[in-house]
Structure 1
Amino acid sequence: MGSRFDITIVAADSLAAERHIDMMIAEVTRIENLISDWKSDTQISRVNQNAGIAPVQVDPEVFALTERALHFSRLTNGAFDISFAAMDRIWKFDGSMTEMPSPEAVKKSVERVGYQNIVLDRTHSTIFLKKKGMKIGFGALGEGYAADRCRDMMLALGIKAGIVNGSGDMSTWGKQPDGSDWVIGITNPLRKDTLLAVVPLRQSAVVTSGSYEKFVVFNGKRYAHIINPKTGYPATGVSSVTVFGPSAETANGFSTSLMVLGKDAGLKLIRKYPQYQYILVTDEGQIYSSPDLGIKKGSL
């Protein structure tokens, strides 16, 4: 998945801990070998290789993950879209960009993007991409899905507490050895060396999406590295979104979507799902959060 995974578990002894951590590493590797769009021999790569040619049969697990991704696309009217993988990478966030891409280049960059052209056949467990050159990728859901799977596997094996952190997509369970909650520090996006809040993890998953590390500024406006798959333009207006809830996969879907949708549409969406809490910080430093998190509304 091209991401770092950090795994922490509470176990009776170091041998048991190592054995269970090895099982989780094997599980992450198994998932990567199913859904990676970087490796040429995975099921998702075969789907991409057959875009515009033929449907490809995939495992029920891959089909179900794709189905959930499409549900998010419909929910957000395309602000979230796994076919973003075919987008031309015309925006550079490494300091090399000196001017904005032309409107024509931006429009062309998303020609092969569009979740409406992903066809699922549940009876035959197939995925078909209608347009030649289309691609799907699970960069926005894969780590969260793997983290959730590892947590559920450990719970089934009787491991009572732990954290799986897939590059910021965190799934947690149980409590620390002293009986206290796991806690997470939320980075202040306007001052990266300080914390906005320290929150006890009473829900099992937390995911943060942010634009405070990769962005460009043109004419005084900040453009995030998270691109709107409908328009081809980077997200603007929101510096960071942290989402708490039962599933890291779903929390990632929400955090990415809220970055793209912006404050008003994003908050309207997530407030329909009370099992997921949020902290949203705008580019101007305004803080919006779920009331039950106890974070004071205001500005940084």
Structure 2
Amino acid sequence: MKKVLVLLLILSCFGASAQVARKRTVKLMGSRFDITIVAADSLAAEQHIDTVIAEVTRIENLISDWKADSQISKVNANAGIGPVRVDPEVFALTERALHFSNITKGAFDISFAAMDRIWKFDGSMTEMPSPEAIKKSVEKVGYQNIILDKKHGTIFLRRKGMKIGFGALGEGYAADRCRDMMLARGIKAGIVNGSGDMSTWGKQPDGSDWTIGITNPLHRDTLFALVPLYQSAVVTSGSYEKFVVFNGKRYAHIINPSTGYPATGVSSVTVFGPSAETANGFSTSLMVLGKDAGLKLIKKYPNYTYILITDSGQIYSSRKLGLKNLTL
């Protein structure tokens, strides 16, 4: 259920300032991370970027399902065999992910990692998979079979062949962790952007807000909204770059883990709030749930706001954002 990157960061000219901003782009967690730190001088900013990279790497080594020695890989290797004890940090992340599964009734599910990749979005598909193949592709998926034992700090996957993977949720968690760590160290402004899971805090050196541009899903080379951010997180999920069309219906690359069918009806969801991890859970879930069920869900969480765009170009946004007369 990996999202696509649809955010463009707009940095204004820094100009003369007592502080400087430094930005570095690196590959972490298998994805692009853009790290911007505002500090008293360039050397301090670069040193703090090094600290952020080290923290993301630490988290990756704990939760990556692609690293054979990670705690999550050990959980997966013991699926159907026995529980595996994990660090409290990993346990808590899994617990929060299962909370999302519960409130979305399976539209969000970290056991999607065991899903058979029968849908191809590289132009090679000429016909839809059969209903039987689609059903079989998700037979090892099911958050109800992830058993957490809080007393012993263990995770157990009840069915053999099951797997869990955090994907973009892990990137959002890493972005949040690094933001909080930098704030604790007295760094008053910066951005940690993990492949579109973005945590920001403070302001640019010239005193202006960090600003993001929301891509127009119907015209990808244009923006239809600019939104200022302050100590906030933002995540966008979109289906307009990777999709297939059968019988006039568009199927997104984001798969519903409970059915095996691709999401339909929504082109883009951007979610704002205090946590990139939580915003990621909402953005992915709204893509899968669709407009009606998705908006009904997120409206229960007033700390999070949204911009949702349907395949037909209709725009829905939270009143709190104050975005009026939006058109594509």
Give the TM interval when normalised to the shorter protein: over 0.9
| Partner in structure 1 of residue 34 of structure 2 | 6
User: Aligned equivalents of 1:274 and 1:162: distance in 2?
Assistant: 25
What is residue 32 of structure 1 aligned with on the other side?
60
Deviation at 1:60, TM superposition (A): 0.2
Q: Which residue of 2 aligns with 1:286?
A: 314
Structure 2 residue aligned with 1:197, among 225, 235, 254? Answer: 225
Residue 293 of structure 2: aligned partner? 265
Between the aligned partners of 1:93 and 1:295, the Cα distance in structure 2 is 33
Structure 2 gap ranges (5+): 1-28
Give percent identity, aligned residues only.
Answer: 87
CA contact (8 A) 2:307 2:316 kept: yes
Structure 2 distance, partners of 1:199, 1:132, is 46
Q: CA deviation at 1:94?
A: 0.7
Distance 2:168 2:178 in 1: 17
Structure 1 residue 250 and structure 2 residue 311: aligned? no
Task: Check whether the contact 1:3–1:166 (CA below 8 A) recurs between aligned residues.
Answer: yes
1:86 aligns with 2:91: no
Provide TM-score, normalisation by structure 2. Answer: 0.90
- Please provide the CA RMSD for this pair: 0.9
8 Å Cα contact 1:289/1:297 also seen in 2: no
Give the alignment of 1:1-300 within 5 angstroms: 1-296=29-324, 300=328
Q: Once superposed, which parts of structure 1, at least 4 consecutive aligned residues long, lie more than 3 Å away? A: none
Structure 1: gaps of 5 or more residues: none
In structure 2, C-alpha distance between the alignment counterparts of 1:241 and 1:153, rounded to whole Å = 28
What's the secondary structure of 1:141's corresponding residue? helix
Q: 1:253-293: per-residue Cα shift (whole Å, max 9, x none)?
A: 00000000000000000001111000000000000000121
Q: Distance in 2 between matches of 1:106 and 1:297?
A: 40
Task: Note if contact 1:58-1:127 (Cα within 8 Å) is conserved in structure 2.
Answer: yes
Q: Deviations over 1:65-106 (max 9, x none)?
A: 000000000000000000000000000111111110000000
Distance 2:247 2:269 in 1: 24
8 Å contact from structure 2 (residues 224, 326) kept in 1: no
What's the TM-score, normalizing by structure 1? 0.99
Judged with a 3 Å threshold, the aligned counterparts in structure 2 of structure 1 residues 203 and 282 are, in CA distance, closer, same or farther, namely farther
How far apart are residue 299 of structure 1 and its match? Answer: 5.0
Write 1 or 2 for the structure with the bigger share of strand. Answer: 2
